[in-house]
């Protein structure tokens, strides 16, 4: 589902990613770990074309990205198949919860509005936010906003979901609620790459853990092998 081959990204003359290769099979969950500055966010952003790279290639959900600028339209097509959730939920503050979730599908305009809305309500129920469909983001807790952000990404029917430290802005209780949602997605067979420092999550859900250090893959293995036994 994802194949990264010898990826090189240079920023300000430094190789931020220095020949990263990894594979993510369909239906599997990869957790990316590594120290601050090791390139985790840069790698994730290269996977959905948010950042360009200068060497290597990325194949993701049937889309192939080569080094340099992407052809017109390629990134729009890719992002329909690749959902991303950030540390700071990035909901549209002026829209209600349900409008945040339906916006993407409405812009695509492939399905009738009532069908899009019904599907959004199902997704909001799935993340435990059905009761808050009419609320504005500012009235919600961080954990609630993040669950809406997950529903919004899922509304596009992505083949792959990318998460960049989805719980690091949250207190432990809210983190747990969000991680439970992501674990449920994993059980449902959603292909995912998750940057997280939460070892408990990795042990519960990760098919593989990839450890980055200084822009290179240091180790790849099971959560047990890379993170050690639960302590």
Ligand X SMILES: Nc1ncnc2c1ncn2[C@@H]1O[C@H](COP(=O)(O)OP(=O)(O)OP(=O)(O)O)[C@@H](O)[C@H]1O
Nearer to ligand X, 41 or 144 (CB): 41
Q: How far is the CB of 52 from ligand X (least distance, A)?
A: 11
Residue 115: how many other CB atoms lie within 10 Å: 11
Residue 21's closest CA among 6, 32, 9?
6
**Contact pick of 28, 30, 31, 41 for Mg ion (by CB under 5 A):** 41
**Contact pick of 16, 29, 179, 217 for ligand X (by CB under 6 A):** 16
Binds 42: which of Mg ion, ligand X, none (CB < 5-8 Å by kind): ligand X
158 binds ligand X (CB under 6 A): no
Bridge partners (DSSP) of residue 212 are: 217
Q: How far is the CB of 36 from ligand X (least distance, A)?
A: 3
Q: How far apart are CA 27 and CA 102, in angstroms?
A: 25
Return the DSSP state at 51.
S
Token pair belonging to 17: 């990613």
Q: How far is the CB of 195 from Mg ion (least distance, A)?
A: 6
Query: Strand 82-85 and strand 160-164: pairing?
Result: parallel
Tell me the number of residues near ligand X by CB under 6 A. Answer: 11
Q: How far apart are CA 158 and CA 174, in angstroms?
A: 24
CA angle 43, 48, 51 (to 5 degrees): 60
41 binds ligand X (CB under 6 A): yes
Q: Which one of 9-17, 76-84, 130-138, 216-224 is the stretch in contact with ligand X (CB under 6 A)?
A: 9-17
39 binds ligand X (CB under 6 A): yes
Nearer to Mg ion, 13 or 36 (CB): 36
147 binds ligand X (CB under 6 A): no
Residue 40's closest CA among 199, 193, 204, 190?
193
Binds 191: which of Mg ion, ligand X, none (CB < 5-8 Å by kind): none
Return the DSSP state at 28.
-
Residue ranges in contact with ligand X by CB under 6 A: 11-12, 16, 34, 36-42
């Amino acid at each position: 589902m994802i194949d990264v081959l010898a990826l090189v990204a240079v920023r300000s003359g430094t190789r931020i990613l220095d020949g990263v290769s990894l594979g993510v099979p369909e239906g599997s969950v990869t957790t990316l770990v590594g120290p601050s500055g090791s390139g985790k966010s840069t790698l994730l952003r290269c996977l959905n074309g948010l950042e360009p790279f200068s060497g290597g290639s990325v194949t993701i959900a049937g889309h192939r990205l080569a080094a340099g600028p992407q052809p017109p339209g390629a990134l729009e097509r890719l992002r329909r198949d690749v959902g991303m959730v950030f540390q700071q939920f990035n909901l549209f503050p002026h829209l209600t919860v349900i409008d945040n979730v339906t916006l993407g599908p409405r812009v695509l305009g492939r399905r009738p509005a009532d069908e899009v809305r019904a599907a959004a309500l199902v997704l909001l129920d799935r993340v435990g936010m059905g009761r808050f469909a009419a609320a504005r983001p500012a009235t919600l807790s961080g954990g609630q906003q993040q669950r809406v952000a997950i529903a919004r990404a899922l509304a596009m029917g992505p083949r792959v979901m990318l998460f960049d430290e989805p719980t690091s802005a949250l207190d432990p209780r809210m983190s747990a609620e969000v991680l439970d949602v992501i674990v449920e997605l994993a059980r449902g067979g959603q292909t995912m790459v998750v940057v997280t420092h939460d070892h408990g999550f990795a042990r519960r859900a990760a098919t593989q853990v990839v450890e980055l250090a200084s822009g290179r893959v240091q180790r790849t293995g099971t959560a047990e092998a890379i993170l050690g036994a639960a302590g």
